Chains A and B, each alone.
Chain A
Amino acid sequence: MSSRDLILGRVRRATADVRDDGTPYETAVDRSYLREHGDRTEAGTVELLAENLADYRAVVHRCAADALPATLAGLLAARGSDTVVVPEGLDESWLAESGVTRIADRKTATAHELDAVDTVVTACAVAVAETGTIVLDASPDQGRRRITLVPDHHICVVRVPSQVVSSVPQALERLDPARPLTWISGPSATSDIELDRVEGVHGPRTLEVVLVDDVP
């Protein structure tokens, strides 16, 4: 008998007293919890996102759609970045005003090569206001997962309000489980030493989020 059969057999015997309760999944769970918390306007939700991102130590910037290239150029210059890894599908115009060396996100790039890069710039899939979270789904304008992991500085562009939702339930509705997803809420941190929270272990130690108004 395979272990698979052994384990499944044990499960069936163990649950013999309760398995035939006839309650289908749809009615088994009381979903009276909230779809979102609070009652806000779209602008209020974007405000909440900015607050919560800042609370967990992301650096937050806001700008109008046509000011994005200049804003990004300013951030890169302030950081002193020379090399920037860029997802294949990132909007070309975004880095048009930045005088940096662009490194394409390639299948064959090694982790060591990424380690030498100064900054990574990406878009995002969705941002969650209640928790201050941005979610990446490896789409062409966000790139492979490792490019936002190895470099020390990540600039993420969020289009507001179209990419902003209030809550976790709403975010899950927008995301595709078949894609690899990375939920980011601030730079990396640990509380392992005396439960004292310290930022910056592995993963980018500086996370900058640019909230750019949707193109009207």
Chain B
Amino acid sequence: MSGTFVGMPAFPVAAHEAVHDSTLRGNLRHATRTIRAKRAKAVAEVSDWAALREAGKQIKDHTLRHLDRYLVQLEESVTAAGGIVHWAADAAEANRIVTELVKMTGETEVVKVKSMATQEIGLNEALETAGIHAYETDLAELIVQLGKDRPSHILVPAIHRNRGEIRDIFVREMGEWGRPAPEGLTDTPAELAEAARLHLREKFLRAKVGVSGANFMVAETGTLVVVESEGNGRMCLTLPETLISVVGIEKIVPRWQDLEVFLQTLPRSSTAERMNPYTSMWTGTRDGTAGEGDGPETFHLVLLDNGRTDTLADEVGRQALRCIRCSACLNVCPVYERAGGHAYGSVYPGPIGAILSPQLRGTGSEIDASLPYASSLCGACYEVCPVAIDIPEVLVHLRERIAEGGPATRDGNRVVLKPARGHAAERAAMRAARWAFSHPGALRGGQRLASRTRRFHPRTLPGPGRAWSGTRDLPEVPAESFRDWWQRTSGGKDVTK
């Protein structure tokens, strides 16, 4: 990934362009509608979906409650199996650790399996600064990397590109990074996938260092799980001599048995399949067990905080850490469908991004303060979430925090946030409304005045209200208020009056 999200404008500004990009909207509309229908079908096949969803929620909640215990247990079991565990409090530290580990091998190239955590911390850029080339091997990440672009979706990061654009990127850029695209490459997905296969194969076969994330880490056994479709994960996890996995601390599950829930809910929610093509599970290294010479000799696990403990401290917001990164919420969101992922200014876009990014990064920046408002609160995301994250609840909670300020945790410290700028008019309006509702005489007088002057009301509100009324119709004020009508007609009985 060569762009960064630092300094992104607020969501409405960022989305404005995207909304007018008809190619992008066409791509997103087609893609999200297709997967939505498939997901519904895959879920309908499973008669105990509601029970699985509830179990997934409970497993994650229990784990988060006792996260310190499970982290310690995981460290023990990974170490006992020959792995080496590192702890990274923030992105900078994680990048330092990984860079050092790669330097220790003497290699200047690494192959990467798609990992949102490594995107989050900007690992590729950090490695590049240290003279180490990180080659993305996931097809979509490859497209993003070659196109010098940013990911726009959790599962299919290049969804904002159609096949024609992908073909152009391959033809233009593949030669710079390795084997060039074949002559006369067309834009059929099959040929594009074949071009990626050939381009990447030589990298896989010679790579000595692989970098990955993980979908799950089992505390009891020290097992890591990577769920994928293409086979690039298997390539990066088994062929290199050294494997470095960067994983968020919230990806832990307590026991081996717990995988039985998520291995059913994740594939059906994400790619809408009964099971994804390849799932790899490994524990430490293969030292001392039968059949050595199978997989990396050295395995490093880098546990990443980077705002997760801040999120954990928030009673309402912590449920966002249940997320298993399926992206079902993105595919169902009417806002995401129209604005695309880049407008969210984060590697985590869509509904989950709107609650996770402002908690991981804090609400200080323009974009993060606007993300909880990037929603119509329709709740479709909550319905499809396989771990029952009540995203609307967290969105409203974050809106409160932004508009009114209040307690939060930043970098492990309790702070009190000031109300964000740009909400003063909202607060004034709410105060006025509260006053009016607690003074019935004033309310009645105000309603009568509004009725009498209704012909003079403007279509849009002045000043700070203009943006609000710019996308809404102001309500029509009736000739008399309901209460006056009720009184006048004795409860609607005497309608001739």
The interface of chain A, by Cβ under 8 A from chain B, is 2-4, 6-15, 17-19, 21, 23, 25, 28-34, 37, 52, 56, 106-108, 111-112, 115, 128, 130-133, 138, 140, 143-146, 149-150, 168-169, 172, 177-196, 198, 200-203
Q: Which residues of B contact A8 (CB under 8 A)?
A: 68, 71-72
Q: How far is the CA of A30 from the CA of B47 in the complex (A)?
A: 16
**Contacts A37-B46, A169-B260; A203 near B54 (Cβ below 8 A):** no
Confirm or deny: B124 has a beta carbon within 8 angstroms of a beta carbon on chain A: no
Given A30-B51, A144-B294, A202-B204: A187 and B277 within 8 A (CB)? yes
When C-beta atoms are compared, the residue in chain B nearest to A128 turns out to be B275
Instruction: Provide 7 A-B residue pairs closer than 8 Å at the C-beta atoms, listed in order of the A residue.
Output: A23-B62, A32-B51, A33-B51, A190-B139, A193-B139, A193-B163, A194-B27
- State in angstroms the CA–CA spacing of A200 and B188 once bound together: 14
What residue in chain B is nearest A110 (Cβ atoms)?
Answer: B205
With A29-B59, A33-B48 as known contacts, state yes or no: A177 contacts B256, CB within 8 Å. Answer: yes
B123 interface residue (CB < 8 Å to A): no
CB under 8 Å from chain A, chain B span 197-227: 197, 200-201, 204-205, 218, 221, 223
Within 8 A of A (CB), among B48-71: 48, 51-52, 54-55, 58-59, 62, 64-68, 71
B278 within 8 A of A: yes
Measured between beta carbons, the chain B residues less than 8 angstroms from A17 are 315
CA distance A40 to B283 in the complex (A): 34
Closest CB in chain A relative to B340 CB, distance in Å: 14
Nearest CB in chain B to that of A186: its residue: B277
Selected interface stretch from B230-238, B419-427, B483-491: B230-238
Determine the distance from Cα of A178 to Cα of B264 in the docked complex, in whole angstroms: 21
Q: Is A200's CB under 8 angstroms from B197's CB?
A: yes
The yes or no answer to B171 lying at the interface (CB within 8 A) is no
Contact A3 B93, CB 8 Å, known A11-B309, A13-B313, A15-B312 = yes
Interface residues of B in 149-199 (CB under 8 A from A): 156-159, 162-163, 166, 189-190, 192-194, 196-197
In the complex, chain A residues whose CB is within 8 Å of the CB of B290: 140
**Interface segment, one of B81-89, B432-440, B451-459:** B81-89
Chain A contact residues, majority secondary structure: loop
5 closest A-B pairs by beta carbon, nearest first, are A203-B231, A107-B293, A202-B231, A14-B313, A131-B275
Bound-complex Cα distance A8 to B74 (A): 13
Partner of B67, one of A11, A56, A106: A11
Whether A19 lies near B65 (C-beta < 8 A) is: yes
Min CB gap B109→A, angstroms: 15
Neighbour of B89 across the interface among A6, A32, A108, A172, CB < 8 A: A6
Establish whether residues B66 and A19, one from each chain, have CB atoms under 8 Å apart when the complex forms. yes
**How distant is the Cα of A8 from the Cα of B292 in the complex, in angstroms?**
35
Residue pair B62, A201 in contact (C-beta under 8 Å): no
Q: Closest residue of chain B to A4, judged by CB?
A: B87
The docked-state distance in angstroms from the alpha carbon of A109 to that of B229 is 26
Contact B159 A195, beta carbon cutoff 8 Å? yes
Q: Does B27 contact A25, Cβ atoms closer than 8 Å?
A: no
Question: Looking at the complex, which one of B30, B68, B88 makes contact with A11 (CB distance below 8 Å)?
Answer: B68
Residues of A within 8 A of B239 (CB): 111, 146, 149
A57–B275 Cα gap in the complex (Å)? 13
Given A180-B294, A201-B229, 17 more A-B residue pairs with CB atoms under 8 Å apart are: A11-B309, A15-B312, A52-B274, A56-B275, A108-B293, A115-B205, A146-B239, A177-B256, A182-B278, A189-B277, A191-B35, A191-B229, A194-B27, A196-B189, A198-B193, A201-B197, A201-B232
Residues A3 and B88 in contact in the complex (CB < 8 Å), given A178-B283, A181-B281, A183-B279: yes
Asked whether B218 lies within 8 Å of A190 as measured between CB atoms, the reply is no
With A177-B221, A194-B27 as contacts: A29 and B62 at CB distance below 8 Å:
yes
Pair A172/B256 contact, Cβ less than 8 Å: yes
Within the complex, which residue of B230, B238, B257, B275 is in contact with A145, where a contact is CB–CB below 8 Å?
A: B238
A90 CB, min distance to chain B CBs, angstroms: 13
Please state if A188 and B194 are interface contacts (CB–CB under 8 Å). Answer: no
B271 within 8 A of A: yes
Residue of B nearest to A31 (CB): B55
| Chain A residues, CB < 8 A from B257 | 169, 172
Distance in angstroms from B136 CB to nearest chain A CB is: 12
The reply on B305 being an interface residue by CB < 8 A is yes
Q: Establish whether residues A182 and B27, one from each chain, have CB atoms under 8 Å apart when the complex forms.
A: no
Residue of B nearest to A35 (CB): B260
For A202, list chain B residues within 8 Å (CB). 137, 197, 200-201, 204, 230-232, 234-235
Whole-angstrom CA separation of A33 from B137 in the bound complex: 36
Evaluate whether A177 and B283 lie within 8 angstroms (CB atoms) in the complex, with A19-B66, A182-B278, A192-B143 already known.
yes
Which chain B residues border A2 with CB–CB below 8 Å?
Answer: 87
Picked from A23, A178, A191, the residue with its CB within 8 Å of the CB of B271 is: A191
CB < 8 Å neighbour of A182 from B59, B234, B271, B289: B234
Cα distance, A144 to B239, chains bound together (Å): 11
In the assembled complex, how far is the CB of residue A55 from the closest CB belonging to chain B, in whole angstroms?
8
Contact assessment for B313 and A188 in the assembled complex, using a CB-CB cutoff below 8 Å: no
CB atoms of A189 and B46 under 8 A apart? no
